């Protein structure tokens, strides 16, 4: 009986050490993978060109519908949100520009959504700003160029364009350079 007990104890120890003759391998932990397609990449300024939309004027305001960022690259990319607008004067001197984000301009409601921009496609946005009507003799500066920075980028695209935005509801609350901007949308 003692011999059987010793033999059994030795067998249990040997089996415990060797794992019953097989080498136990740790289970591999799955690594999450993310597949990034070109359409998932945010458009860089180098992929885009700025396109002037259709200008109109009425009741003391000037509107521009269909301003655009055209994808001039061979790669798809995305835009999401609002562009940044900055007026400049002679020699690139910055002119005070107030970007006011709105969801409706000229009766056109626009919601914020991801725009997948294929090569040679154009994503649009709209602008609206007050003209000098109703501000007496007050004069706001006129730009010589306007810089448009796509959402997700830090590099502006420059358009030679003379605009003179006023803002505020009265001459007492005048805010030169106020421009209402819609989010990027795809027609």
Whole-number Cα distances in Å, 168 to 59, 61, 75, 129: 15, 12, 42, 10
Reply yes or no on whether the pLDDT at 143 is more than 50: yes
Residue range 125-137: average pLDDT? 88
Residue 53, φ and ψ in degrees, nearest 5:
-90, -160
What is the C-alpha to C-alpha distance for residues 114 and 153, in angstroms, rounded to an integer? Answer: 15
Least confident of 38-42, 91-95, 96-100, 181-185: 38-42
Choose between 15 and 122: higher pLDDT: 122
pLDDT of residue 110: 73
Please report the beta strands in 6-121, taking only residues with DSSP state E, as ranges in sequence order.
48-51, 54-58, 61-71, 77-79, 84-88, 94-95, 98-101, 104-105, 108-109, 115-117
What is the C-alpha to C-alpha distance for residues 8 and 3, in angstroms, rounded to an integer? Answer: 8
Task: Report residue 105's pLDDT band, with 50, 70 and 90 as the boundaries.
Answer: confident
In CATH, 39-181 is 3.30.1370: no
* Straight-line distance from the first to the last Cα atom of the chain, in angstroms, rounded to the nearest whole number: 90
Which string of b and e fits 20-47 if b means at least 16 CB within 10 Å? eeeeeeeeeeeeeeeeeeeeeeebebeb
């Amino acid at each position: 009986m003692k011999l059987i007990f010793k033999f059994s104890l030795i067998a249990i120890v040997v089996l415990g050490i060797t794992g019953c003759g097989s080498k136990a391998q740790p289970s591999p932990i799955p690594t999450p993978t993310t597949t990034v397609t070109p359409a998932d990449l945010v458009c860089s300024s180098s992929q885009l060109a700025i396109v002037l939309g259709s200008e109109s004027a009425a009741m003391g305001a000037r509107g521009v519908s269909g301003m655009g960022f055209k994808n001039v690259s061979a790669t798809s990319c995305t835009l999401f949100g609002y562009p940044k607008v900055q007026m400049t004067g002679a020699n690139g001197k910055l002119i005070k520009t107030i970007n006011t984000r709105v969801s409706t301009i000229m009766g056109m409601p626009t919601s914020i959504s991801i725009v997948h921009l294929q090569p040679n496609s154009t994503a649009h946005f709209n602008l609206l700003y007050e003209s000098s009507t109703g501000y007496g003799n007050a004069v706001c500066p006129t730009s010589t160029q306007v810089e448009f920075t796509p959402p997700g980028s830090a590099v502006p695209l420059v358009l030679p364009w003379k605009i003179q935005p006023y803002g505020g509801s009265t001459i007492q609350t005048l805010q030169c350079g106020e421009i209402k901007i819609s989010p990027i949308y795809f027609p």
